[in-house]
Structure 1
Protein backbone atom coordinates (compact mmCIF):
# COMPACT_ATOMS: atom_id res chain seq x y z
CA UNK A 1 0.00 0.00 0.00
CA UNK A 2 1.25 3.46 -0.90
CA UNK A 3 1.95 5.58 2.15
CA UNK A 4 1.58 9.28 1.24
CA UNK A 5 2.33 12.11 3.61
CA UNK A 6 -0.73 14.32 3.52
CA UNK A 7 -0.69 17.98 4.44
CA UNK A 8 -3.33 20.03 6.27
CA UNK A 9 -5.74 19.76 3.31
CA UNK A 10 -5.28 15.98 2.85
CA UNK A 11 -3.04 16.24 -0.22
CA UNK A 12 0.55 15.14 -0.87
CA UNK A 13 1.19 18.49 -2.60
CA UNK A 14 0.38 22.07 -1.54
CA UNK A 15 -2.89 22.74 -3.41
CA UNK A 16 -5.43 20.73 -5.40
CA UNK A 17 -4.29 20.28 -9.01
CA UNK A 18 -7.66 19.16 -10.40
CA UNK A 19 -9.23 22.67 -10.31
CA UNK A 20 -6.23 24.17 -12.12
CA UNK A 21 -6.40 21.65 -14.95
CA UNK A 22 -10.19 21.61 -15.22
CA UNK A 23 -10.43 25.40 -15.38
CA UNK A 24 -8.05 25.22 -18.33
CA UNK A 25 -10.32 22.64 -20.01
CA UNK A 26 -13.41 24.74 -19.30
CA UNK A 27 -11.74 27.80 -20.82
CA UNK A 28 -10.69 25.85 -23.93
CA UNK A 29 -14.17 24.42 -24.54
CA UNK A 30 -15.96 27.72 -23.89
CA UNK A 31 -13.53 29.63 -26.09
CA UNK A 32 -13.98 27.04 -28.86
CA UNK A 33 -17.74 27.44 -28.56
CA UNK A 34 -17.52 31.25 -28.75
CA UNK A 35 -15.22 31.02 -31.78
CA UNK A 36 -17.62 28.63 -33.51
CA UNK A 37 -20.65 30.83 -32.80
CA UNK A 38 -18.92 33.99 -34.04
CA UNK A 39 -17.50 32.12 -37.02
CA UNK A 40 -20.91 30.71 -37.92
CA UNK A 41 -23.01 33.86 -37.59
CA UNK A 42 -20.46 36.43 -38.78
CA UNK A 43 -18.89 34.20 -41.46
CA UNK A 44 -15.43 34.34 -39.89
CA UNK A 45 -14.24 30.95 -41.14
CA UNK A 46 -10.76 31.23 -39.62
CA UNK A 47 -12.39 31.01 -36.19
CA UNK A 48 -13.45 27.43 -36.95
CA UNK A 49 -9.77 26.51 -36.98
CA UNK A 50 -9.29 28.19 -33.59
CA UNK A 51 -12.29 26.33 -32.19
CA UNK A 52 -11.04 23.02 -33.57
CA UNK A 53 -7.57 23.30 -32.00
CA UNK A 54 -9.06 24.40 -28.68
CA UNK A 55 -11.17 21.24 -28.67
CA UNK A 56 -8.12 19.10 -29.48
CA UNK A 57 -6.27 20.53 -26.47
CA UNK A 58 -9.37 20.19 -24.27
CA UNK A 59 -9.77 16.53 -25.32
CA UNK A 60 -6.25 15.70 -24.24
CA UNK A 61 -6.29 17.76 -21.06
CA UNK A 62 -9.67 16.60 -19.75
CA UNK A 63 -8.24 13.17 -19.00
CA UNK A 64 -5.56 14.71 -16.77
CA UNK A 65 -8.33 16.60 -14.99
CA UNK A 66 -10.32 13.40 -14.46
CA UNK A 67 -7.27 11.49 -13.22
CA UNK A 68 -6.35 14.19 -10.71
CA UNK A 69 -10.03 14.58 -9.79
CA UNK A 70 -10.30 10.87 -8.98
CA UNK A 71 -7.06 10.93 -6.99
CA UNK A 72 -7.98 14.05 -5.02
CA UNK A 73 -11.55 12.87 -4.40
CA UNK A 74 -10.16 9.69 -2.88
CA UNK A 75 -7.89 11.68 -0.60
CA UNK A 76 -10.69 14.05 0.41
CA UNK A 77 -12.39 11.39 2.52
CA UNK A 78 -15.77 13.02 1.91
CA UNK A 79 -18.27 12.99 4.72
CA UNK A 80 -21.85 11.78 4.30
CA UNK A 81 -23.42 15.11 3.29
CA UNK A 82 -20.90 15.65 0.47
CA UNK A 83 -20.95 12.09 -0.88
CA UNK A 84 -23.93 12.37 -3.24
CA UNK A 85 -22.67 15.60 -4.83
CA UNK A 86 -19.20 14.07 -5.23
CA UNK A 87 -20.66 10.94 -6.85
CA UNK A 88 -22.68 12.99 -9.34
CA UNK A 89 -19.64 15.21 -10.02
CA UNK A 90 -17.49 12.12 -10.66
CA UNK A 91 -20.01 10.48 -12.99
CA UNK A 92 -20.60 13.72 -14.88
CA UNK A 93 -16.83 14.20 -15.23
CA UNK A 94 -16.42 10.83 -16.93
CA UNK A 95 -19.44 11.51 -19.16
CA UNK A 96 -18.06 14.94 -20.05
CA UNK A 97 -14.69 13.49 -20.99
CA UNK A 98 -16.38 11.08 -23.40
CA UNK A 99 -18.57 13.85 -24.86
CA UNK A 100 -15.63 16.24 -25.32
CA UNK A 101 -13.62 13.58 -27.13
CA UNK A 102 -16.66 12.53 -29.18
CA UNK A 103 -17.43 16.08 -30.23
CA UNK A 104 -13.77 16.63 -31.09
CA UNK A 105 -13.74 13.50 -33.25
CA UNK A 106 -16.93 14.68 -34.94
CA UNK A 107 -15.32 18.08 -35.42
CA UNK A 108 -12.30 16.40 -37.03
CA UNK A 109 -14.64 14.72 -39.52
CA UNK A 110 -16.37 18.04 -40.23
CA UNK A 111 -12.99 19.71 -40.71
CA UNK A 112 -11.86 17.06 -43.22
CA UNK A 113 -15.13 17.34 -45.11
CA UNK A 114 -15.25 21.14 -45.30
CA UNK A 115 -13.16 23.18 -42.89
CA UNK A 116 -14.91 26.42 -43.94
CA UNK A 117 -18.31 25.41 -42.53
CA UNK A 118 -19.79 23.73 -39.51
CA UNK A 119 -23.37 22.41 -39.47
CA UNK A 120 -25.99 23.95 -37.18
CA UNK A 121 -26.53 20.57 -35.48
CA UNK A 122 -22.92 20.70 -34.30
CA UNK A 123 -23.60 24.06 -32.66
CA UNK A 124 -26.66 22.54 -30.97
CA UNK A 125 -24.64 19.67 -29.54
CA UNK A 126 -21.87 22.11 -28.52
CA UNK A 127 -24.52 24.18 -26.73
CA UNK A 128 -25.56 21.06 -24.79
CA UNK A 129 -21.89 20.51 -23.92
CA UNK A 130 -21.61 24.06 -22.57
CA UNK A 131 -24.74 23.56 -20.44
CA UNK A 132 -23.35 20.30 -19.08
CA UNK A 133 -20.05 22.02 -18.28
CA UNK A 134 -21.95 24.74 -16.39
CA UNK A 135 -23.74 22.04 -14.36
CA UNK A 136 -20.44 20.29 -13.64
CA UNK A 137 -18.87 23.60 -12.61
CA UNK A 138 -21.77 24.15 -10.20
CA UNK A 139 -21.16 20.73 -8.62
CA UNK A 140 -17.42 21.31 -8.29
CA UNK A 141 -17.99 24.73 -6.78
CA UNK A 142 -20.45 23.23 -4.31
CA UNK A 143 -17.92 20.61 -3.24
CA UNK A 144 -15.40 23.30 -2.32
CA UNK A 145 -17.51 26.24 -1.15
CA UNK A 146 -20.37 24.38 0.53
CA UNK A 147 -18.81 21.10 1.64
CA UNK A 148 -15.24 22.36 1.99
CA UNK A 149 -13.42 19.39 0.48
CA UNK A 150 -9.67 19.99 0.72
CA UNK A 151 -10.26 23.10 2.82
CA UNK A 152 -8.17 23.13 5.99
CA UNK A 153 -10.85 23.84 8.65
CA UNK A 154 -13.13 21.15 7.21
CA UNK A 155 -10.28 18.63 6.99
CA UNK A 156 -9.39 19.36 10.63
CA UNK A 157 -13.03 18.98 11.71
CA UNK A 158 -13.22 15.61 9.93
CA UNK A 159 -10.00 14.42 11.58
CA UNK A 160 -11.36 15.45 14.99
CA UNK A 161 -14.63 13.65 14.33
CA UNK A 162 -16.76 16.82 14.36
CA UNK A 163 -17.97 16.11 10.80
CA UNK A 164 -18.89 12.58 9.73
Structure 2
Protein backbone atom coordinates (compact mmCIF):
# COMPACT_ATOMS: atom_id res chain seq x y z
CA UNK A 1 0.00 0.00 0.00
CA UNK A 2 1.37 3.37 -0.92
CA UNK A 3 1.85 5.90 1.90
CA UNK A 4 -0.78 8.37 0.60
CA UNK A 5 -3.38 5.59 0.25
CA UNK A 6 -2.56 4.30 3.73
CA UNK A 7 -2.80 7.87 5.13
CA UNK A 8 -6.24 8.44 3.56
CA UNK A 9 -7.46 5.07 4.87
CA UNK A 10 -6.24 5.87 8.42
CA UNK A 11 -7.66 9.39 8.39
CA UNK A 12 -11.00 8.11 7.13
CA UNK A 13 -11.08 5.39 9.81
CA UNK A 14 -10.18 7.81 12.57
CA UNK A 15 -12.81 10.26 11.35
CA UNK A 16 -15.48 7.53 11.29
CA UNK A 17 -14.50 6.42 14.80
CA UNK A 18 -14.61 10.03 15.99
CA UNK A 19 -18.08 10.53 14.57
CA UNK A 20 -19.29 7.31 16.20
CA UNK A 21 -17.82 8.27 19.56
CA UNK A 22 -19.20 11.79 19.23
CA UNK A 23 -22.66 10.40 18.57
CA UNK A 24 -22.44 8.24 21.70
CA UNK A 25 -21.15 11.13 23.80
CA UNK A 26 -23.83 13.40 22.40
CA UNK A 27 -26.50 10.85 23.26
CA UNK A 28 -25.24 10.46 26.82
CA UNK A 29 -24.86 14.24 27.20
CA UNK A 30 -28.45 14.64 26.00
CA UNK A 31 -29.61 12.00 28.46
CA UNK A 32 -27.65 13.67 31.24
CA UNK A 33 -29.11 17.05 30.34
CA UNK A 34 -32.69 15.79 30.29
CA UNK A 35 -34.81 17.13 33.15
CA UNK A 36 -34.93 14.90 36.19
CA UNK A 37 -38.06 14.09 38.12
CA UNK A 38 -36.86 16.36 40.95
CA UNK A 39 -36.00 19.82 39.60
CA UNK A 40 -32.88 21.41 41.03
CA UNK A 41 -32.88 24.98 42.29
CA UNK A 42 -29.72 26.09 40.49
CA UNK A 43 -30.20 29.76 41.39
CA UNK A 44 -30.07 29.01 45.12
CA UNK A 45 -26.95 26.91 44.67
CA UNK A 46 -25.12 29.64 42.76
CA UNK A 47 -26.25 32.60 44.86
CA UNK A 48 -25.36 30.90 48.13
CA UNK A 49 -21.71 31.10 47.08
CA UNK A 50 -21.83 34.70 45.84
CA UNK A 51 -19.88 37.31 47.81
CA UNK A 52 -20.55 41.02 47.41
CA UNK A 53 -18.63 43.22 49.85
CA UNK A 54 -19.40 46.41 47.86
CA UNK A 55 -15.79 47.50 48.24
CA UNK A 56 -15.33 46.65 51.93
CA UNK A 57 -12.16 44.99 53.11
CA UNK A 58 -12.41 41.88 55.31
CA UNK A 59 -12.04 43.90 58.55
CA UNK A 60 -14.93 46.21 57.64
CA UNK A 61 -17.10 43.30 56.51
CA UNK A 62 -16.42 41.47 59.79
CA UNK A 63 -17.56 44.57 61.68
CA UNK A 64 -20.85 44.58 59.77
CA UNK A 65 -21.33 40.85 60.23
CA UNK A 66 -20.60 41.08 63.95
CA UNK A 67 -23.04 43.98 64.34
CA UNK A 68 -25.75 42.01 62.53
CA UNK A 69 -25.01 38.99 64.72
CA UNK A 70 -25.21 41.02 67.95
CA UNK A 71 -28.52 42.50 66.78
CA UNK A 72 -29.93 38.98 66.19
CA UNK A 73 -30.12 39.00 62.39
CA UNK A 74 -28.12 35.75 61.87
CA UNK A 75 -25.52 36.67 59.22
CA UNK A 76 -23.76 33.29 59.37
CA UNK A 77 -20.01 33.13 59.92
CA UNK A 78 -18.19 36.35 60.81
CA UNK A 79 -15.55 35.75 58.16
CA UNK A 80 -15.19 39.05 56.28
CA UNK A 81 -17.12 37.86 53.23
CA UNK A 82 -20.60 39.27 52.74
CA UNK A 83 -22.31 36.30 51.16
CA UNK A 84 -25.96 35.37 50.89
CA UNK A 85 -26.49 34.81 54.62
CA UNK A 86 -24.91 38.16 55.49
CA UNK A 87 -27.04 39.98 52.94
CA UNK A 88 -30.20 38.20 54.11
CA UNK A 89 -29.38 39.44 57.62
CA UNK A 90 -28.80 42.94 56.26
CA UNK A 91 -32.10 42.79 54.36
CA UNK A 92 -33.91 41.78 57.58
CA UNK A 93 -32.33 44.76 59.34
CA UNK A 94 -33.13 47.09 56.47
CA UNK A 95 -36.73 45.85 56.40
CA UNK A 96 -37.11 46.67 60.07
CA UNK A 97 -35.53 50.13 59.98
CA UNK A 98 -35.04 51.46 56.44
CA UNK A 99 -38.10 50.64 54.32
CA UNK A 100 -36.74 47.57 52.54
CA UNK A 101 -39.74 45.84 50.96
CA UNK A 102 -38.10 43.24 48.71
CA UNK A 103 -37.58 39.54 49.23
CA UNK A 104 -35.18 38.33 51.90
CA UNK A 105 -33.09 36.52 49.30
CA UNK A 106 -29.52 37.70 49.92
CA UNK A 107 -29.28 39.24 46.47
CA UNK A 108 -27.78 42.73 46.43
CA UNK A 109 -30.14 44.25 43.91
CA UNK A 110 -31.50 47.79 43.47
CA UNK A 111 -34.07 47.47 46.29
CA UNK A 112 -31.41 46.34 48.74
CA UNK A 113 -29.11 49.17 47.65
CA UNK A 114 -31.91 51.76 47.99
CA UNK A 115 -32.64 50.69 51.58
CA UNK A 116 -28.91 50.60 52.29
CA UNK A 117 -28.60 54.13 50.88
CA UNK A 118 -31.40 55.31 53.20
CA UNK A 119 -29.49 53.87 56.16
CA UNK A 120 -26.20 55.36 54.97
CA UNK A 121 -27.85 58.76 54.43
CA UNK A 122 -29.22 58.71 57.97
CA UNK A 123 -26.06 57.58 59.78
CA UNK A 124 -22.93 57.55 57.59
CA UNK A 125 -22.82 60.75 55.54
CA UNK A 126 -24.21 59.48 52.25
CA UNK A 127 -25.32 62.52 50.26
CA UNK A 128 -26.27 60.97 46.92
CA UNK A 129 -29.59 59.96 45.45
CA UNK A 130 -31.58 56.97 46.66
CA UNK A 131 -31.25 55.35 43.25
CA UNK A 132 -30.34 51.71 43.90
CA UNK A 133 -26.92 52.09 42.28
CA UNK A 134 -23.88 51.24 44.41
CA UNK A 135 -21.68 54.02 43.03
CA UNK A 136 -18.67 55.71 44.59
CA UNK A 137 -20.69 57.71 47.13
CA UNK A 138 -22.60 54.64 48.31
CA UNK A 139 -19.41 52.61 48.58
CA UNK A 140 -17.59 55.36 50.50
CA UNK A 141 -20.44 55.66 53.04
CA UNK A 142 -20.63 51.85 53.26
CA UNK A 143 -16.90 51.78 54.03
CA UNK A 144 -17.43 54.37 56.81
CA UNK A 145 -20.19 52.17 58.20
CA UNK A 146 -18.00 49.05 58.05
CA UNK A 147 -15.07 50.87 59.66
CA UNK A 148 -17.25 52.23 62.47
CA UNK A 149 -18.62 48.79 63.30
CA UNK A 150 -15.20 47.15 62.96
CA UNK A 151 -13.68 49.73 65.36
CA UNK A 152 -16.58 49.29 67.80
CA UNK A 153 -16.17 45.51 67.90
CA UNK A 154 -12.38 45.53 67.90
CA UNK A 155 -11.63 44.16 64.43
Larger radius of gyration, structure 1 or 2?
2
Higher relative contact order (CA 8 A, sep 6+): 1
TM-score scaled to structure 2, two decimals? 0.20
